[in-house]
């Protein structure tokens, strides 16, 4: 399960960086934050 979360987190972070490069500031930041939260070793939200 952690491997799937890691892969999903990496995909979201890469998509966020690409969004930032395209000028979509808010969307890019949201994707990066969600990617960091989902990836193992990221933020722990009381789980």
Predicted confidence band of residue 2 (pLDDT cuts 50, 70, 90): confident
Q: Cα–Cα distance between 20 and 7 in angstroms, integer?
A: 20
Q: Cα–Cα distance between 31 and 4 in angstroms, integer?
A: 17
The full set of domain ranges for the chain reads: 2-38
pLDDT, tens digit, for every residue of 3-47? Answer: 888 888 889 999 999 999 999 999 999 999 999 888 876 655 544
Q: Cα–Cα distance between 25 and 30 in angstroms, integer?
A: 9
The pLDDT assigned to 44 comes to 53
DSSP string, the chain: -HHHHHHHHHHHHHHHHHHHHHT-HHHHHHHHHHHHHHSTTS-----
The pLDDT assigned to 43 comes to 59
């Amino acid at each position: 399960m952690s491997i799937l979360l890691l892969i999903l987190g990496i995909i979201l972070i890469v998509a966020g960086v690409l969004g930032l490069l395209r000028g979509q500031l808010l969307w890019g930041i949201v994707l990066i934050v969600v990617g960091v939260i989902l990836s193992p070793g990221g933020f722990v939200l009381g789980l």
